[in-house]
C-alpha cells in the first residue's frame, strides 16, 4: 500500500507545550487539560527537577496532581534529582524528555510539556541532533499576562510563600560559602537569603538589624523574580516568532487583575483560559483518531480560539 504525504503526517506523534512566564498559571492549565485526552505531564522547569524546595520552586505537590475530574495525572522529570549540587544541564533535560516521550506515547497518551525554562525548551526544539519538529507534530499554548499585572502578582505570591514557610525551607539548604550558581541553589530566594542566614544566629547583632536584612532579602527575591519573568517573556516572544502558527497566545491579564482585586476569578479563568485552550487542543488532535481520546467541546459563546502568533 502506498502512503500519501497526508497519511504519513497523520502518523507523526503529537506533543503539546504550555508556555508562559513564571506565575502565569501554566501548571494549573495543564492539570485542567490533562484528563480529557488522556495525558501525562513532562516538567520543563530546570529547578523543579530537584527534590526539595517545593515552596520556593512552586512545585505542584502529589496531592494536587489531580484534575478537576479528580484524576491523577502522571508527572515526569519532577523532583527526580536528589543531589542538590548536581548540575542538571540542557542535555540532561533533552535526554529525559525523549525518554519520557517514548514512555507516554507508548501508553497511548498525549505528552504535555509544561514549565518556564525556555532556554531548555529552545534547545529541545531547535537542536538538529534531536530533530524534534521533524519527529513530532507540536502545538504551543502561550499563557500571557501583562508585565505590570504579573509583577504585582509575583509580589503577592512571594508574600504567600513566606507565610507558608519559605524561610524555614531555604534555611535547611543554607551552607556558608556554597556555590549558588549550580544545582537547586540557583532557585530564586536561595542566594537572596544568604546574607540573612549568615548573621541570623550571631550574637551582638541587634534583632532590628536582622529583621531589616530579612525584609531586604524578601524584597530582592521579588525583584529578581520580576526580572526572571521579563527575561522569560523575551525568550517566549523569540520562540513564538520562530515557531509561527504552531503557537497560540492566550491573554490572561484580566483574570489576574480580578484575582489581585480579591474578587472571584475562577469563572473568568474558565472562560478566558480553559475553554479556548481546550478548543485549541481539540483542533490539534482531531486531525487523527489514533491513540487519543479527546473531549468533544463546543464554545457556548460562539467565540473562536485565538489565532496563531
Is 3.40.50.300 the CATH classification of the domain at 13-145+243-285?
yes
State how far the Cα of 291 lies from the Cα of 184, in Å rounded to an integer: 37
Instruction: With CA atoms as reference, report the closest residue to 79 among 94, 67, 96.
Output: 96
C-alpha cell recorded at residue 273: 483560559
Backbone torsion region of residue 15, taken as left when φ is above 0, otherwise alpha when ψ lies between -120 and 50, otherwise beta: beta
Residues 209-268: tens digit of each pLDDT: 999 999 999 999 999 999 999 999 999 999 999 999 999 999 999 999 999 999 999 999
Range(s) within the chain of domains with CATH label 1.10.287.890: 151-223
Q: 202 pLDDT exceeds 50?
A: yes
How many C-beta atoms surround the C-beta of residue 9 within 10 A? 12
Residues 211, 217, 218, 224, Cα dihedral to 10°: 170
Residue 144, SS3? strand
State yes or no: pLDDT of 294 exceeds 90. Answer: no
Q: Indicate if the pLDDT at residue 304 is higher than 50.
A: no
- Largest Cα span, the chain: 85
- In the chain, which segments carry CATH 3.40.50.300? 13-145+243-285
Residue 193 has pLDDT above 80, yes or no: yes
Under CATH, which number does the domain 151-223 receive? 1.10.287.890
What 3-state class would DSSP assign to 255?
helix
pLDDT tens string 45-77: 999 999 999 999 998 766 555 544 446 889 999
pLDDT tens track for 85-135? 999 999 999 999 999 999 999 999 999 999 999 999 999 999 999 999 999
Amino acid at each position: 500500500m502506498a502512503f500519501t504525504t497526508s497519511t504519513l503526517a497523520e502518523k507523526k506523534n503529537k506533543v503539546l507545550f504550555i508556555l508562559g512566564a513564571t506565575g502565569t498559571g501554566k501548571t494549573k492549565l495543564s492539570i485542567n487539560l490533562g484528563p480529557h485526552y488522556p495525558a501525562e505531564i513532562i516538567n520543563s522547569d530546570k529547578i523543579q527537577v530537584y527534590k526539595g524546595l517545593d515552596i520556593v520552586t512552586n512545585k505542584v505537590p502529589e496531592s494536587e496532581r489531580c484534575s478537576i475530574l479528580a484524576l491523577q495525572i502522571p508527572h515526569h522529570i519532577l523532583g527526580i534529582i536528589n543531589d542538590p549540587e548536581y548540575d542538571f544541564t540542557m542535555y540532561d533535560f533533552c535526554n529525559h524528555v525523549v525518554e519520557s516521550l517514548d514512555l507516554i506515547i507508548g501508553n497511548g497518551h498525549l505528552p504535555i510539556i509544561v514549565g518556564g525554562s525556555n532556554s531548555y525548551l529552545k534547545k529541545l526544539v531547535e537542536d538538529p541532533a534531536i530533530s524534534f519538529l521533524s519527529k513530532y507534530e507540536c502545538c504551543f499554548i502561550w499563557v500571557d499576562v501583562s508585565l505590570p499585572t504579573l509583577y504585582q502578582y509575583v509580589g503577592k505570591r512571594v508574600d504567600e510563600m513566606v507565610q507558608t514557610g519559605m524561610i524555614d525551607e531555604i534555611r535547611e539548604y543554607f551552607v556558608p560559602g556554597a556555590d549558588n550558581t549550580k544545582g537547586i541553589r540557583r532557585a530564586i530566594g536561595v542566594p537572596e537569603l544568604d546574607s540573612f542566614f549568615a548573621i541570623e544566629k550571631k550574637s551582638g547583632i541587634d534583632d532590628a538589624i536582622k529583621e531589616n536584612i530579612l525584609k531586604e532579602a524578601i524584597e530582592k527575591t521579588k525583584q529578581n523574580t520580576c526580572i526572571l519573568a521579563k527575561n522569560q517573556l523575551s525568550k517566549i516572544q523569540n520562540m513564538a516568532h520562530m515557531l509561527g502558527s504552531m503557537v497560540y497566545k492566550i491573554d490572561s491579564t484580566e483574570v489576574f487583575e480580578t484575582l489581585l482585586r480579591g474578587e472571584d476569578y475562577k469563572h473568568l479563568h474558565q472562560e478566558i483560559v480553559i475553554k479556548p485552550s481546550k478548543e485549541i487542543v481539540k483542533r490539534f488532535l482531531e486531525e487523527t483518531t489514533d491513540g487519543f481520546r479527546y473531549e468533544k467541546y463546543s464554545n457556548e459563546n460562539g467565540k473562536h480560539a485565538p489565532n496563531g502568533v
